[in-house]
């Protein structure tokens, strides 16, 4: 059953009581919230996601709620609960859905240690994954969003979840987070994208999410093999440049962008060596998204 198969009252009831068991790729998140904006955004963005049985197993039990203090009326805030813990400081009251998304990313990156988790967007074509590891502000999510609207499958805009035994990347197709100018860039580049309202003045600036393509959610059970590592960098006014990167340097970039490399230790190193060994590695500078996606459309898969 998909979330869209439930009526709005059923969704509200589940979120307010037992929780909505949303499957996002390899994990099930039992989500609770009574905040209208969160309920609306969940209904919009997760419409195509599977809903598991209410009494079934869930990997994570999370809640976005108002704090239990007087500020809930004066200056509303939101908090994120993980099991019975509140791991983060409260945020302004209109940031409930972004906080839920950031919290769900944290659940995987800091708890799913059966996988090697990298801070990277991931897209797929012909069964091969392209990792886009990069620090905030590098244009990673913008490029990911552009590629997703030009034939690549979305695996994640934030997390590369790598199974060490198979080296495959597990899809975690969830709403794609865009910031500041990227929101209008993708709005113009892909008018068909379904956005939730922009939330302003977050610690990342203005943030808006767009709904993951239905086909990406439907294929969430299909992992992807190593293909490419691309280090994207948006640079105003630049021409589009794809430059080969040595595999050794590429590996160090992946280490720098790993969330739980220290947990895996030696096995983590061996996993990344094997991943890079099977991939082609590039640095990629762009300013024009049309040009960038055209160039990458012609990228050949490694042998």
Q: In the complex, which residues of this chain contact other proteins (CB under 8 A)?
A: 246-249, 251-252, 255, 261-262, 265-266, 269-270, 273, 277
Cα dihedral sign, 113-114-116-119: negative
d(CA 295, CA 126): 17
The distance of closest approach from Cβ of residue 259 to other proteins in the complex, given in angstroms and rounded to an integer, is 15
Closest CA to 153 of 225, 209, 98, 102: 225
Q: Which is nearer to other proteins, 270 or 290 (CB)?
A: 270
Q: Which is nearer to other proteins, 255 or 295 (CB)?
A: 255
Q: Which is nearer to other proteins, 185 or 255 (CB)?
A: 255
- Residue keyed to tokens 């990313």: 105
The distance of closest approach from Cβ of residue 91 to other proteins in the complex, given in angstroms and rounded to an integer, is 34
Q: Which is nearer to other proteins, 190 or 273 (CB)?
A: 273
The distance of closest approach from Cβ of residue 261 to other proteins in the complex, given in angstroms and rounded to an integer, is 8
d(CA 89, CA 266): 34
- Helical residues (DSSP H) of 112-197, grouped into ranges: 140-148, 181-189
The distance of closest approach from Cβ of residue 266 to other proteins in the complex, given in angstroms and rounded to an integer, is 6
Query: Contact 108/82 with Cβ under 8 angstroms?
Result: no
The distance of closest approach from Cβ of residue 281 to other proteins in the complex, given in angstroms and rounded to an integer, is 10
Q: Which is nearer to other proteins, 5 or 270 (CB)?
A: 270
| Structural tokens at position 77 | 């805030």
Query: Contact 82/62 with Cβ under 8 angstroms?
Result: yes
Provide the 8-state DSSP code for 241: E
């Amino acid at each position: 059953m998909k979330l869209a198969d439930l009526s709005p009252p059923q969704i509200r009831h589940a979120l307010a009581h037992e929780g909505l068991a949303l499957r996002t790729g390899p994990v099930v998140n039992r989500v609770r919230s009574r905040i209208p904006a969160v309920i609306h955004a969940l209904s919009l963005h997760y419409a195509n996601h599977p809903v598991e049985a209410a009494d079934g197993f869930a990997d994570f039990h999370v809640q976005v709620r108002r704090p239990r203090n007087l500020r809930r009326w004066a200056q509303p805030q939101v908090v994120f609960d993980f099991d019975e813990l509140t791991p983060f400081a409260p945020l302004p009251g209109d940031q409930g859905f972004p906080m839920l998304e950031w919290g769900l990313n944290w659940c995987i990156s800091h708890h799913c240690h059966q996988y090697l988790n990298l801070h990277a967007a991931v897209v797929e074509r012909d069964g091969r994954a392209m990792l886009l590891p990069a620090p905030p502000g590098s244009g990673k999510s913008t490029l990911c969003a552009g590629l997703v609207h030009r034939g690549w499958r979305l695996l994640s805009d934030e997390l590369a979840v790598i199974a060490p035994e198979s080296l495959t990347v597990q899809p975690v197709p969830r709403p794609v987070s865009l910031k500041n100018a990227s929101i209008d860039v993708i709005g113009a580049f892909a008018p068909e994208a379904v956005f939730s309202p922009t939330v302003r003045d977050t610690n990342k600036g203005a943030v808006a999410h767009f709904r993951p393509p239905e086909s990406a959610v439907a294929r969430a059970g299909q992992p992807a093999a190593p293909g490419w590592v691309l280090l994207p960098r948006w640079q105003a006014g630049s021409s589009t440049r794809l430059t080969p990167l040595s595999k050794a340097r590429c590996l160090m970039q992946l280490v720098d962008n790993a969330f739980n490399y220290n947990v895996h230790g030696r096995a983590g190193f061996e996993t990344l060596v094997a991943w890079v060994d099977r991939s082609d590695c590039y640095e990629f500078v762009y300013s024009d998204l049309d040009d960038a996606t055209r160039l990458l459309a012609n990228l050949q898969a490694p042998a």
